[in-house]
Amino acid sequence: MTVTKTYLCLGSNVGDRRAAIVGGVAELERSGVTVEAQSSLYETEPVGLEDQRWFLNRVVCGTTKMAPDRLLAACKRIERWFGRRRSRVRFGPRTLDIDILLYGDHAISTDRLTIPHPRIRERRFVLVPLVEIAPGVVDPRDGTPYAEILERLDEGKKVSKSLPSAS
């Protein structure tokens, strides 16, 4: 099976956010993702439902032999392990969220999975840490560097590096 580079975004705004993200990365590695790079942790303003605690986010780059659907299943299993329950509240609070941002240079669109992530170009909380660890990464659909997309993005949400003690 082919080894594929993948980028994933982890986020949490319930409980010990830092422990959930660190634990989520460790579980990704146990599940078959070899993590090669991790962004800083970022305090990020909520998107969609604004009346909630700010998120802590991190993007990781890794390699995997898992097919995209198996990787998605692993991410969902890890989210559940950390107490994530699907809510009727869109963009609501969560103990751990893991999104597949990129999977090699593939563009995938199925009922269950869209890669690149469908809102990657709209989210500063994703683009800032992604560009931190992979400044040259491009959108596989049109070759546009994500650094350029970030420069032009004016969504108005705050994203700042987290202090070491933020939970």
Would you call 94 a catalytic residue per the annotation? yes
Would you call 141 a catalytic residue per the annotation? no
| Region of residue 104 (left: phi > 0; alpha: psi -120 to 50; beta: else) | left
CA dist 141 and 118 (Å) reads 12
- Identify the active-site residue in 51, 69, 90, 97: 97
CB 34 within 8 A of CB 63: yes
* Cα of 111 vs its chain's centroid, Å: 20
Would you call 84 a catalytic residue per the annotation? yes
- Identify the active-site residue in 17, 94, 123, 124: 94
- Identify the active-site residue in 58, 84, 123, 124: 84
Quote the DSSP letter at residue 138. B
- Identify the active-site residue in 99, 105, 112, 124: 99
CB 160 within 8 A of CB 42: yes
Q: Which two tokens stand for residue 16?
A: 């010990």
Would you call 97 a catalytic residue per the annotation? yes
CB 54 within 8 A of CB 45: yes
Active site amino acids: 84, 94, 97, 99
